[in-house]
Amino acid sequence: MAHTPPRPAVKMGLPIPNSKLGMWLFLGTEIMFFTAFIGTYIVLYFGSVDANGRSAWPTDTHVTHINVVAGAINTFVLIFSSYLVVVAHEAMGQRNFQKAFKALGGTFVCACLFLGIKGVEYGGKISHDILPGRIAETEDEALDKLVREMGAALDARLDSLIPGDQPIHIKQSQAAQVGDAPRLLESAQKSLAENPNNPEMREQRDVMQALVDNATQVAIWRTLDIEYGSLRDAVSRNALTLEEAEHRLHELELAARVQVSETESLVGPFVDAARLETLAHSEHPEEASAPAHDDDLPHLAEGEVAIKSGGEWKVYPASNVKLLQDNVYEDVLSSVHHPQVILYGNIFASTYFLMTGFHAVHVVVGMILFAIVLVQGPKLNERWTEWVENSGLYWHFVDLVWIFLFPLIYIIPGV
Amino acid sequence: MSDTTAATQHAEHAAHPHVNYTKIFVALCVCTALSWVADEAGGWGLIDSKRMIAVIVLAIAVAKAQYVMRYFMHLKFEGKWKYVLLLPTTILACGIPLALAPDIGLHYYRPTTPQTRVEIAPPTELSPTAAPHESAKGSAPEHGGDH
C-alpha cells in the first residue's frame, strides 16, 4: 500500500490572534452602540423645533451648564492618554517593560483626571437640577416646580425642628402652638410625671421641649410658611407670572431678622447700601432679575438700611437697627432652585447623560483593564503584550467616541 | 497566553512600519486647537455661517478620528479583514438614525401639535363656537395619533 502524504491542513480564520479578533468584533458592536446614541441625539437636535419650526434645542451654556473649557481639557487628556497607550504597546514590543509600565500608569492617571473633570461638570448640572425629567419646559411647570420644591423644603425643615414620626400635617399644627409652648411644656411634664411609662406623653413632652428650644427657628419657619401659602395660592389662581414668582423668591432670599426697637423685631427682606450695590452689579445669571426690579428696591442714603414689612419698605438709620440673623430662610431656600423654563430641556439632559454617562462607564472599564496590568508591577513581561495591545485598541475607541462627542455636544450647539 | 500567540504578535509588530507616534499626537493637538479656533472664529466675525462652523468642526473631528484609527489603532497596516469586520457594523449603525429621521428629525411635531391623540368631546348645541376649535385640534392625530 502506497504511503500517501497527509494533506496540509486548511488554513482557517483571520491572520490575527484570536484575542485581537475578539476585541475588533466587540468594537464593531460598540460602533453600533454609540452610533445609536449619537445618531438619535442628532435627529432629536434637528427635530426639536418651536412653534415656528425653528430649532429650539437648548444651546445657551448659562442654561444648559455645558462647560466648553472642561470638554476641551478632557479632549486633550484623552488624546494624551491614547498617545501614552500606543507608546506602552510599542515599549512592550521592544521588551522595555519599565517604559510600558510608566506609560500605562500615565494613562491611568489621565483616566482619573478625565473622570474628575467630568464629575465637576456633572456636579454643576446636578446642583442646577439639569436632570432628565426634572426640568420645567413651560412657565406653568416652572411655577409648579417652585411651589413643590418650596413645600418639600419647608416640610423637611419642620421635620428637623420637631422630633417624632408623626405626619407632617400634625407637625404643622404643633408648630402653630409655638407661642404657647412654655405653658404646654409645663403641663406635659406634669402629665409625664404622673404617668412616666406613657409613650404618648413622653412624645408630647419631647415635642413641646423642642418647640421651646427652637422657638425662634419655628417662628421663622411659620413666617416662611405664610409666604409659601401666599405663593402657592397665587400660583393655583394663575395670578402670578414666572417673573413675579422669581422676584418673590429673590426677596425671601434677602430676608433677615432685625431688631428695630427695644420691643420690636421684624423678619423680612433686608437691604443696606452694600447689598444694594451687590444686587445692582450681580453677574450671576440667576440673580439677573434683581436689577430688573430695581424700582422695587428702596433708595438708601449713607448709613441707612431698609426692611420690607407689610408689603412696604421701611427705612431706618443703620445705628438704630440690630441685625439679629441674616438670610433667615437659607436653610429652606438652599434646596429651592430658581425657576427657569427650558424648552426640550429634559430630552437634552437625557441625551447628554446617556452619551457622556456611557462613555464614562467605558473609561472606568478601560481603567480596570490597565489596573490589571499595573498590579503586575516589576513582574510585567512579554506575556502581557497582547493584553496591552487589545486594551489599547479599546482605549483608542473610547478616545474616538469622545472626539465626536466634543464637537457635537460642546461646540456646535453653542456656536 | 501561549508563546505561539506571543510570537505571532511579535511577528505582526515587526510587520508594522515604524510610526512616529509623537508626530501623530502633535497633529491631534493641532486639530483640537483648530476646532477651538473655528469655534472662536464665529465670535470674531471671521465666519458668519453657523452651519459652516459646524461643518469645519466636524471635518476636523473626522480628521482626528482618521489619525487615531490609522496610526494608533494600526488600521493602516492591517489586512483586508478590517473591511469585513467594520463595514457591516458601520452600515448597520446608521439604521437607528435613519429610522428615526422621518418621524423625529423632519419636524413632524411641534409644541402646538403634540405627539398625542387628543380625545375630542362631541360638539354640543350649547357651545356653537366649539366646532371650529375642535376641528383645528382634530388635525393633531393626523400627524401623530398613529405613532
Looking at residue B46, what is its pLDDT? 82
In chain A, residues with a C-beta closer than 8 Å to the C-beta of B71 are: 86
Looking at residue A282, what is its pLDDT? 65
Least confident among A71-85, A187-201, B4-18, B77-91: B4-18
CB B135 within 8 A of CB B141: no
pLDDT, tens digit (0-9, with 9 covering 90-100), for B76-102: 988 888 998 899 999 999 988 898 888
* C-alpha distance from residue B36 to each of A230, B30, B39, B58, B99 (Å): 49, 10, 5, 12, 33
SS3 at position A415:
coil
CB A137 within 8 A of CB A342: yes
Please state, in angstroms and rounded to a whole number, the distance separating the CA atoms of residues B15 and B51: 43
In chain B, residues with a C-beta closer than 8 Å to the C-beta of A53 are: 107, 110
A324 at B interface, C-beta within 8 A: no
Higher pLDDT, A50 or A352: A352
In chain B, residues with a C-beta closer than 8 Å to the C-beta of A31 are: 86, 89-90, 93
Looking at residue B119, what is its pLDDT? 59
Higher pLDDT, A320 or A76: A76
- Among the partner-chain residues B54, B72, B92, the one whose CB lies closest to the CB of A396 is B72
Looking at residue B142, what is its pLDDT? 38
In chain B, residues with a C-beta closer than 8 Å to the C-beta of A383 are: 1, 6
Q: Where residue A303 falls among pLDDT bands split at 50, 70, 90? A: confident
- Among the partner-chain residues B1, B28, B69, the one whose CB lies closest to the CB of A383 is B1
Mean per-residue pLDDT over chain A, rounded: 90
Tell me the mean pLDDT in the region A66-78: 93
Contact A32 B89 (CB under 8 A): yes
Least confident among A51-65, A67-81, A382-396: A51-65
- Rg of chain A on CA atoms, in Å: 32
Is residue B48 predicted with pLDDT exceeding 70?
yes
pTM of the complete model: 0.81
A36 at B interface, C-beta within 8 A: yes
Q: Where residue A294 falls among pLDDT bands split at 50, 70, 90? A: low
- Among the partner-chain residues B1, B88, B104, the one whose CB lies closest to the CB of A47 is B104
- In this structure, is the dihedral angle defined by the CA atoms of residues B75, B76, B77 and B83, taken in order, positive or negative? positive
DSSP-derived secondary structure for A294-345: GGGSPP--TTEEEEEETTEEEEEEGGG-EEEESSTTHHHHTT-PPP---TTH
Looking at residue A244, what is its pLDDT? 93
Q: Where residue A210 falls among pLDDT bands split at 50, 70, 90? A: very high
Is residue B22 predicted with pLDDT exceeding 50?
yes
Contact A407 B60 (CB under 8 A): yes
pLDDT, tens digit (0-9, with 9 covering 90-100), for A338-377: 999 998 999 999 999 999 999 999 999 999 999 999 999 9
Q: Where residue A2 falls among pLDDT bands split at 50, 70, 90? A: low
Distance from CA of B59 to the nearest CA of A (A): 10
B contact test, residue of A82, A84, A355, A372 with most B CBs within 10 A: A82
Looking at residue A3, what is its pLDDT? 65
Region of A257 please: left (phi>0), alpha (psi -120 to 50) or beta.
beta
Q: Which chain B residue is nearest to residue A91, measuring alpha carbons?
A: B13
A76 at B interface, C-beta within 8 A: yes
Helix axes A215-236, A139-161, angle to 10 degrees: 160
Interface of A with B in 82-111 (CB under 8 A): 82-83, 85-87, 90, 93
Max distance between CA atoms of chain B, in angstroms, equals 90
Cell numbers for B47:
465666519
SS3 at position A269:
strand
> Using the 8-state DSSP alphabet, how is residue B110 labeled?
B
B contact test, residue of A38, A44, A86 with most B CBs within 10 A: A86
Contact B8 A17 (CB under 8 A): yes
A291 at B interface, C-beta within 8 A: no
Domains of chain B by residue range: 8-103
Looking at residue A114, what is its pLDDT? 98
CB A246 within 8 A of CB A142: no
Tell me, what amino acid is at A147?
V
Looking at residue B103, what is its pLDDT? 77
The residue written with cell numbers 479583514 in the block is: B81
